[in-house]
Amino acid sequence: MREILIDLKALKENLQYIKAKAGVPVLAVVKADAYGHGLIQCAKAASEAGADYLGTALLEEAFTIREAGIKTPLLAWLNPPGLDFKKAVSQDIEIGVASLAAFDEVNAIAGAKIHLKVETGMGRNGFSDEWPELLNRDLSKVVGVMMHFARADEPNEIQNKNQIANFEARVSELKAKGINPIRHISNTAATLSNESAKYDMVRVGLAMYGMSPLGRDHNLKPIMKVRAKLVVVKELPAGHPIGYGATVITKEATKIGIVGVGYADGIPRNAVGAGVTFNGQSAPLIGRVSMDQIAVDLGSNTEAKSGDWVTVIGENYDIYDWAKACQTITYEITTRISGRIPRTYIES
Protein backbone atom coordinates (compact mmCIF):
# COMPACT_ATOMS: atom_id res chain seq x y z
CA MET A 1 0.00 0.00 0.00
CA ARG A 2 1.63 3.12 -1.23
CA GLU A 3 0.26 6.25 -2.77
CA ILE A 4 1.23 9.57 -4.25
CA LEU A 5 -1.24 12.24 -3.19
CA ILE A 6 -1.50 15.10 -5.66
CA ASP A 7 -3.30 18.22 -4.45
CA LEU A 8 -4.77 19.95 -7.50
CA LYS A 9 -6.19 22.79 -5.44
CA ALA A 10 -2.66 23.62 -4.34
CA LEU A 11 -1.57 23.48 -7.99
CA LYS A 12 -4.25 26.03 -8.88
CA GLU A 13 -3.28 28.30 -6.00
CA ASN A 14 0.39 28.10 -6.95
CA LEU A 15 -0.46 29.00 -10.54
CA GLN A 16 -2.65 31.90 -9.49
CA TYR A 17 0.16 33.20 -7.28
CA ILE A 18 2.56 32.99 -10.22
CA LYS A 19 0.09 34.68 -12.54
CA ALA A 20 -0.34 37.59 -10.16
CA LYS A 21 3.39 37.83 -9.62
CA ALA A 22 4.24 37.67 -13.33
CA GLY A 23 1.63 40.13 -14.52
CA VAL A 24 1.92 38.67 -18.04
CA PRO A 25 0.38 35.55 -19.60
CA VAL A 26 1.67 32.27 -18.16
CA LEU A 27 2.58 29.14 -20.06
CA ALA A 28 2.22 26.20 -17.67
CA VAL A 29 4.96 23.64 -18.31
CA VAL A 30 3.62 20.08 -18.08
CA LYS A 31 6.43 18.13 -19.75
CA ALA A 32 7.75 14.89 -18.24
CA ASP A 33 4.32 13.81 -17.04
CA ALA A 34 3.92 17.19 -15.36
CA TYR A 35 7.21 16.70 -13.50
CA GLY A 36 5.92 13.36 -12.24
CA HIS A 37 2.55 14.71 -11.05
CA GLY A 38 0.41 13.43 -13.96
CA LEU A 39 0.16 15.11 -17.37
CA ILE A 40 -3.58 15.12 -18.02
CA GLN A 41 -4.76 15.96 -14.52
CA CYS A 42 -2.25 18.78 -14.16
CA ALA A 43 -2.85 20.15 -17.67
CA LYS A 44 -6.59 20.25 -16.92
CA ALA A 45 -6.14 21.85 -13.52
CA ALA A 46 -3.71 24.43 -14.91
CA SER A 47 -6.15 25.30 -17.69
CA GLU A 48 -8.98 25.66 -15.18
CA ALA A 49 -6.78 27.92 -13.05
CA GLY A 50 -6.18 30.26 -15.96
CA ALA A 51 -3.00 29.07 -17.67
CA ASP A 52 -2.80 30.98 -20.95
CA TYR A 53 -0.74 28.28 -22.63
CA LEU A 54 0.44 24.77 -21.88
CA GLY A 55 3.97 23.74 -22.77
CA THR A 56 5.66 20.41 -23.35
CA ALA A 57 9.07 19.31 -24.51
CA LEU A 58 7.79 16.50 -26.73
CA LEU A 59 5.19 16.47 -29.45
CA GLU A 60 3.90 13.14 -28.07
CA GLU A 61 3.12 14.90 -24.81
CA ALA A 62 1.21 17.58 -26.71
CA PHE A 63 -0.78 14.95 -28.62
CA THR A 64 -1.74 13.31 -25.33
CA ILE A 65 -3.08 16.65 -24.08
CA ARG A 66 -5.19 17.14 -27.20
CA GLU A 67 -6.44 13.52 -27.07
CA ALA A 68 -7.74 14.29 -23.58
CA GLY A 69 -9.84 17.07 -25.09
CA ILE A 70 -7.88 19.95 -23.57
CA LYS A 71 -8.06 22.93 -25.93
CA THR A 72 -5.73 25.43 -24.23
CA PRO A 73 -3.12 26.99 -26.56
CA LEU A 74 -0.24 24.57 -26.58
CA LEU A 75 3.44 24.71 -27.49
CA ALA A 76 5.91 21.81 -27.85
CA TRP A 77 9.54 22.89 -28.19
CA LEU A 78 11.93 19.96 -28.51
CA ASN A 79 11.50 18.94 -32.12
CA PRO A 80 13.97 17.27 -34.42
CA PRO A 81 13.04 17.28 -38.11
CA GLY A 82 10.95 14.35 -39.32
CA LEU A 83 8.14 14.45 -36.77
CA ASP A 84 4.46 14.42 -37.65
CA PHE A 85 4.18 18.20 -37.83
CA LYS A 86 1.07 18.01 -40.03
CA LYS A 87 -0.78 16.25 -37.25
CA ALA A 88 0.53 18.84 -34.80
CA VAL A 89 -0.71 21.73 -36.92
CA SER A 90 -4.07 20.05 -37.48
CA GLN A 91 -4.45 19.88 -33.67
CA ASP A 92 -3.45 23.51 -33.27
CA ILE A 93 -0.19 22.66 -31.52
CA GLU A 94 2.39 25.40 -31.88
CA ILE A 95 5.85 24.19 -32.72
CA GLY A 96 9.21 25.26 -31.37
CA VAL A 97 12.08 24.83 -33.79
CA ALA A 98 15.83 25.24 -33.41
CA SER A 99 17.15 23.99 -36.75
CA LEU A 100 16.67 24.98 -40.38
CA ALA A 101 15.66 21.43 -41.25
CA ALA A 102 12.79 21.45 -38.76
CA PHE A 103 11.86 25.03 -39.66
CA ASP A 104 11.56 24.21 -43.36
CA GLU A 105 9.34 21.19 -42.69
CA VAL A 106 6.98 23.12 -40.42
CA ASN A 107 7.04 26.24 -42.56
CA ALA A 108 5.72 24.24 -45.52
CA ILE A 109 2.48 23.45 -43.65
CA ALA A 110 -0.44 25.83 -44.07
CA GLY A 111 -1.59 27.28 -40.76
CA ALA A 112 1.56 26.34 -38.83
CA LYS A 113 2.53 28.49 -35.86
CA ILE A 114 6.26 28.55 -35.21
CA HIS A 115 8.25 29.59 -32.15
CA LEU A 116 11.95 30.13 -32.85
CA LYS A 117 14.25 28.93 -30.13
CA VAL A 118 17.42 31.00 -30.14
CA GLU A 119 20.85 30.34 -28.67
CA THR A 120 21.83 33.07 -26.22
CA GLY A 121 24.27 31.32 -23.91
CA MET A 122 22.70 28.06 -22.77
CA GLY A 123 24.67 26.09 -25.35
CA ARG A 124 21.80 23.71 -25.90
CA ASN A 125 19.08 23.69 -28.55
CA GLY A 126 18.58 27.08 -30.15
CA PHE A 127 19.45 28.65 -33.48
CA SER A 128 23.06 29.79 -33.66
CA ASP A 129 25.11 29.17 -36.83
CA GLU A 130 22.00 28.64 -38.96
CA TRP A 131 20.42 31.90 -37.79
CA PRO A 132 21.66 34.19 -40.65
CA GLU A 133 20.32 31.76 -43.22
CA LEU A 134 17.02 31.47 -41.34
CA LEU A 135 16.58 35.24 -41.57
CA ASN A 136 16.39 34.89 -45.36
CA ARG A 137 13.44 32.49 -45.16
CA ASP A 138 9.77 33.42 -45.26
CA LEU A 139 9.15 34.12 -41.56
CA SER A 140 5.46 34.89 -41.80
CA LYS A 141 4.50 31.79 -39.77
CA VAL A 142 6.70 32.79 -36.85
CA VAL A 143 4.49 33.70 -33.89
CA GLY A 144 6.98 33.37 -31.04
CA VAL A 145 10.64 33.69 -30.14
CA MET A 146 12.10 32.09 -27.04
CA MET A 147 15.28 31.32 -25.15
CA HIS A 148 16.18 29.50 -21.97
CA PHE A 149 18.34 30.69 -19.07
CA ALA A 150 21.28 28.60 -17.90
CA ARG A 151 21.66 30.31 -14.52
CA ALA A 152 18.31 31.84 -13.62
CA ASP A 153 18.60 30.27 -10.17
CA GLU A 154 21.65 32.49 -9.61
CA PRO A 155 19.97 35.86 -10.24
CA ASN A 156 23.15 37.91 -9.78
CA GLU A 157 25.17 36.03 -12.37
CA ILE A 158 26.17 38.26 -15.27
CA GLN A 159 25.29 35.47 -17.70
CA ASN A 160 21.60 36.27 -17.17
CA LYS A 161 22.14 39.83 -18.42
CA ASN A 162 24.28 38.61 -21.29
CA GLN A 163 21.64 36.14 -22.39
CA ILE A 164 18.98 38.86 -22.37
CA ALA A 165 21.24 41.13 -24.45
CA ASN A 166 21.79 38.35 -26.98
CA PHE A 167 18.06 37.69 -27.06
CA GLU A 168 17.34 41.39 -27.68
CA ALA A 169 19.73 41.32 -30.63
CA ARG A 170 17.89 38.36 -32.20
CA VAL A 171 14.51 40.05 -31.63
CA SER A 172 15.79 43.23 -33.34
CA GLU A 173 16.88 41.22 -36.35
CA LEU A 174 13.40 39.73 -36.57
CA LYS A 175 11.84 43.18 -36.21
CA ALA A 176 13.99 44.41 -39.07
CA LYS A 177 12.33 41.71 -41.17
CA GLY A 178 8.92 42.97 -40.10
CA ILE A 179 8.31 40.12 -37.64
CA ASN A 180 6.97 40.89 -34.15
CA PRO A 181 6.50 37.52 -32.42
CA ILE A 182 5.60 37.09 -28.75
CA ARG A 183 8.79 36.90 -26.69
CA HIS A 184 9.11 34.44 -23.82
CA ILE A 185 12.27 33.62 -21.93
CA SER A 186 11.56 33.18 -18.20
CA ASN A 187 11.32 29.90 -16.31
CA THR A 188 10.30 29.72 -12.64
CA ALA A 189 13.55 31.09 -11.23
CA ALA A 190 13.57 34.06 -13.61
CA THR A 191 9.88 34.73 -13.05
CA LEU A 192 10.44 34.86 -9.28
CA SER A 193 13.65 36.89 -9.39
CA ASN A 194 14.04 38.92 -12.57
CA GLU A 195 11.57 41.75 -13.19
CA SER A 196 13.16 42.64 -16.51
CA ALA A 197 12.79 39.19 -18.10
CA LYS A 198 9.02 38.79 -18.34
CA TYR A 199 8.41 40.10 -21.83
CA ASP A 200 5.13 38.82 -23.31
CA MET A 201 4.80 35.52 -21.41
CA VAL A 202 6.60 33.42 -18.81
CA ARG A 203 7.01 29.64 -18.89
CA VAL A 204 6.56 28.19 -15.44
CA GLY A 205 6.92 24.58 -14.38
CA LEU A 206 8.41 24.01 -10.94
CA ALA A 207 6.53 26.80 -9.14
CA MET A 208 3.20 25.38 -10.26
CA TYR A 209 4.12 22.13 -8.50
CA GLY A 210 4.89 24.18 -5.41
CA MET A 211 8.65 24.48 -5.39
CA SER A 212 11.19 27.16 -6.15
CA PRO A 213 14.69 26.58 -7.53
CA LEU A 214 15.75 29.50 -5.31
CA GLY A 215 14.94 27.55 -2.10
CA ARG A 216 11.84 27.08 0.06
CA ASP A 217 9.20 29.69 -0.75
CA HIS A 218 6.24 29.99 1.62
CA ASN A 219 4.05 31.40 -1.16
CA LEU A 220 4.19 28.03 -2.90
CA LYS A 221 2.87 24.72 -1.63
CA PRO A 222 4.32 21.43 -2.87
CA ILE A 223 1.43 19.51 -4.39
CA MET A 224 2.97 16.03 -4.05
CA LYS A 225 3.01 13.92 -0.94
CA VAL A 226 4.14 10.29 -0.90
CA ARG A 227 3.00 7.87 1.77
CA ALA A 228 3.26 4.16 2.36
CA LYS A 229 2.29 1.56 4.93
CA LEU A 230 4.88 0.02 7.18
CA VAL A 231 5.36 -3.53 5.95
CA VAL A 232 7.10 -4.69 9.10
CA VAL A 233 8.05 -3.12 12.43
CA LYS A 234 10.51 -5.05 14.52
CA GLU A 235 12.98 -4.66 17.32
CA LEU A 236 16.63 -5.23 16.57
CA PRO A 237 19.42 -5.44 19.16
CA ALA A 238 22.53 -3.28 19.21
CA GLY A 239 25.18 -4.40 16.74
CA HIS A 240 22.77 -5.54 14.04
CA PRO A 241 23.66 -4.79 10.41
CA ILE A 242 21.03 -3.14 8.21
CA GLY A 243 20.62 -3.62 4.49
CA TYR A 244 22.91 -4.19 1.51
CA GLY A 245 26.57 -3.70 2.25
CA ALA A 246 25.78 -3.54 5.97
CA THR A 247 26.58 0.15 5.77
CA VAL A 248 24.91 0.74 9.13
CA ILE A 249 25.18 -1.30 12.33
CA THR A 250 22.66 -0.45 15.05
CA LYS A 251 24.31 1.34 17.98
CA GLU A 252 21.60 0.38 20.43
CA ALA A 253 18.43 -1.67 20.46
CA THR A 254 15.80 0.05 18.35
CA LYS A 255 12.69 -0.54 16.31
CA ILE A 256 13.16 -0.67 12.58
CA GLY A 257 10.34 -0.02 10.15
CA ILE A 258 10.38 -1.44 6.66
CA VAL A 259 8.65 0.81 4.13
CA GLY A 260 7.75 -0.53 0.70
CA VAL A 261 9.29 2.14 -1.51
CA GLY A 262 12.68 1.89 -3.15
CA TYR A 263 14.75 2.98 -6.07
CA ALA A 264 12.39 1.24 -8.50
CA ASP A 265 9.80 3.76 -7.29
CA GLY A 266 12.14 6.68 -7.83
CA ILE A 267 13.69 7.02 -4.37
CA PRO A 268 17.32 7.56 -5.37
CA ARG A 269 19.66 4.91 -4.04
CA ASN A 270 22.20 7.45 -2.87
CA ALA A 271 19.77 8.99 -0.33
CA VAL A 272 21.48 9.77 2.96
CA GLY A 273 19.94 11.87 5.71
CA ALA A 274 16.29 11.77 4.67
CA GLY A 275 13.58 9.70 6.32
CA VAL A 276 9.86 9.28 6.89
CA THR A 277 7.32 10.76 9.31
CA PHE A 278 5.17 8.63 11.61
CA ASN A 279 2.56 10.45 13.68
CA GLY A 280 4.53 13.69 13.42
CA GLN A 281 7.76 11.97 14.52
CA SER A 282 10.81 11.75 12.29
CA ALA A 283 12.11 8.27 11.50
CA PRO A 284 15.44 8.61 9.68
CA LEU A 285 16.51 6.34 6.86
CA ILE A 286 18.89 3.66 8.04
CA GLY A 287 21.09 1.72 5.64
CA ARG A 288 20.87 1.67 1.89
CA VAL A 289 17.81 2.20 -0.27
CA SER A 290 16.86 -1.15 -1.87
CA MET A 291 14.92 -1.67 -5.08
CA ASP A 292 11.55 -2.07 -3.36
CA GLN A 293 12.08 -1.02 0.23
CA ILE A 294 13.80 1.22 2.71
CA ALA A 295 14.48 0.76 6.41
CA VAL A 296 13.80 3.57 8.87
CA ASP A 297 14.73 3.95 12.52
CA LEU A 298 11.52 4.42 14.48
CA GLY A 299 13.26 4.51 17.86
CA SER A 300 12.76 2.06 20.71
CA ASN A 301 9.72 3.87 22.17
CA THR A 302 7.66 4.06 19.00
CA GLU A 303 4.04 3.01 18.90
CA ALA A 304 4.25 2.33 15.19
CA LYS A 305 3.21 -1.13 14.07
CA SER A 306 3.08 -2.90 10.76
CA GLY A 307 0.24 -1.57 8.62
CA ASP A 308 0.50 2.02 9.91
CA TRP A 309 0.95 4.80 7.37
CA VAL A 310 4.11 6.85 7.19
CA THR A 311 4.73 9.92 5.06
CA VAL A 312 7.79 9.45 2.90
CA ILE A 313 7.82 12.80 1.09
CA GLY A 314 6.00 15.68 2.79
CA GLU A 315 5.80 16.53 6.51
CA ASN A 316 9.16 16.30 8.34
CA TYR A 317 11.12 15.33 5.23
CA ASP A 318 9.86 17.40 2.34
CA ILE A 319 10.95 17.38 -1.29
CA TYR A 320 13.76 19.84 -0.56
CA ASP A 321 15.09 17.52 2.17
CA TRP A 322 14.97 14.53 -0.14
CA ALA A 323 16.69 16.47 -2.93
CA LYS A 324 19.46 17.48 -0.54
CA ALA A 325 19.76 13.93 0.81
CA CYS A 326 20.18 12.67 -2.76
CA GLN A 327 22.53 15.46 -3.86
CA THR A 328 20.13 16.53 -6.55
CA ILE A 329 17.40 19.09 -7.25
CA THR A 330 13.70 18.92 -6.44
CA TYR A 331 12.91 18.54 -10.15
CA GLU A 332 14.67 15.18 -10.27
CA ILE A 333 12.95 13.85 -7.16
CA THR A 334 9.40 14.49 -8.42
CA THR A 335 10.00 13.49 -12.04
CA ARG A 336 11.45 10.14 -10.93
CA ILE A 337 9.16 9.32 -8.04
CA SER A 338 6.23 8.42 -10.27
CA GLY A 339 7.60 4.91 -10.88
CA ARG A 340 5.18 2.20 -9.72
CA ILE A 341 3.29 4.12 -7.08
CA PRO A 342 -0.38 4.86 -7.86
CA ARG A 343 -1.47 8.48 -7.74
CA THR A 344 -4.53 9.79 -5.91
CA TYR A 345 -5.82 13.24 -6.87
CA ILE A 346 -7.38 15.44 -4.25
CA GLU A 347 -8.72 18.99 -4.23
CA SER A 348 -8.01 19.77 -0.58
Ligand X SMILES: *Cc1c(COP(=O)(O)O)cnc(C)c1O
Residues interacting with ligand X, by CB under 6 A? 29, 31, 57, 77, 148, 187-189, 203-206, 213
Whether 3 contacts 198, CB under 8 Å:
no
Judge whether 31 counts as a catalytic residue. Answer: yes
263 annotated active-site: no
Cβ 188 to ligand X shortest distance, Å: 3
Question: 83-122 as b/e, with b when 16 or more CB fall inside 10 Å?
Answer: bebeebbeeebbbbbbbbebbebbbebeebbbbbbbbbbb
The Cα–Cα gap between 120 and 140 comes to 23
**In the complex, minimum distance from the CB of residue 253 to ligand X, in angstroms, rounded to a whole number:** 45
Q: Which position among 31, 113, 198, 255 bears the catalytic label?
A: 31
Backbone phi, psi, residue 146, to 5°:
-140, 155
> Catalytic: which of 71, 175, 234, 244?
244
CB of 232 to ligand X, least distance (A): 38
Q: By C-beta, is 113 or 203 nearer to ligand X?
A: 203
Contacts of residue 85, Cβ cutoff 8 Å, sequence gap at least 6:
79, 95, 105, 106, 109, 112
52 burial via Cβ count (<10 Å: 0-12, 13-18, 19+): middle
In the bound state with ligand X, the residue whose beta carbon lies nearer, of 29 and 337, is 29
- Say how far apart CA 174 and CA 294 lie, in whole Å: 55
Shorter beta-carbon distance to ligand X: residue 136 or 156: 156
Q: For residues 192 and 294, which CB has a smaller minimum distance to ligand X in the complex?
A: 192
- CB 306, min distance to ligand X, A: 38
Supply the residues annotated as catalytic: 31, 244
